[in-house]
Amino acid sequence: MKGASMDSGKKTVVGKIPVPGGGVVRMVVKDTPSQIVSLLDRMVPRVAGIPDGIGFEFLKGHSPFPVKQKDFPKEIPEGYPEEHPCSDGGTIWIPVTTEDLMITHLLHETGHCLLHFPDGPDINLEDPEMRTNPMGSKMESEACAVAYLVSKALGLPDHYNRLYLDNWTGSLDRFRQESESRVLEAATRLINQYSNAGGR
């Protein structure tokens, strides 16, 4: 999430995300969870124990992919900020911001790495739906779902993924048929990796 603002009259938090080619999409926090969030809430894996002191540095240190916070690639798609969270399937780049946002972005980009690079690392791999239908993207919903499940299971902050999923306009039936099992497998892998690392 690029930024957030508060409408003091309606008490509604609005999130904004940049999209390829320029512009932003606004997202509004809902009073009740969306159908996909309700589905994911029933899928959260159980964790025997949550590591003490879990935070961004812990997640970064035990990430299945190298994490960089400088030397961002120059091939980031047109329209994104110069230092935008991104991944190429082999490396994750996270800008230095707040602890909560860095956690959110790291789990989200890890979801992309686990699910969306069938041919190996490629910084130029782009989700076409983010240009034509950014709030209905299958790839974005999958990465958000992985990050959301991990955050819920480990008690971590989530400042983007739930917001996107509550505003998502894609098909829940399609998600259940094409994405649900893949998302749960990736989230469970990450949860186990982090919880086991905390036990050493």
Domain ranges of the chain: 32-198
> Which of 20-29, 73-82, 159-168 tops mean pLDDT?
159-168
* Mean per-residue pLDDT, 84-107: 95
Give every CB contact of residue 170 below 8 A, 6+ residues apart in sequence. Answer: 36, 135, 136, 137, 138, 141
Separation between Cα atoms, residue 89 and residue 123, nearest integer Å: 8
So what's the pLDDT on residue 60?
A: 97
pLDDT digits (tens, 9 = 90+) for 99-157: 999 999 999 999 999 999 988 999 888 888 988 888 999 999 999 999 999 999 999 99
Residue 158 has pLDDT above 60, yes or no: yes
3-state DSSP assignment of residue 18? strand
Q: Lowest-confidence range among 14-18, 21-25, 175-179, 182-186?
A: 14-18
- 12-21, 38-47, 103-112 — which is least confidently predicted? 12-21
Does residue 31 carry a pLDDT above 70?
Answer: yes
Report the chain's mean pLDDT, rounded to a whole number.
87
What is the pLDDT at residue 128? 87
Given a cut of 50, whether residue 84 has pLDDT beyond it is: yes
116 to 50, 73, 101: CA distances (angstroms): 28, 18, 22
CA 106 to chain CA mean position, Å: 7
% the chain with pLDDT above 90: 62
Query: Which pLDDT band, with edges at 50, 70 and 90, does 6 fall under?
Result: very low
Distance in angstroms (rounded) separating the CA atoms of residues 124 and 12 = 35
Instruction: Identify the three-state secondary structure at position 133.
Output: coil
Beta carbons within 8 Å of 124's beta carbon, 6+ residues apart: 75, 77
Task: Specify the higher pLDDT residue, 5 or 175.
Answer: 175
pLDDT at residue 2 above 70? no
- Look at residue 14 in the predicted model and tell me its pLDDT: 63
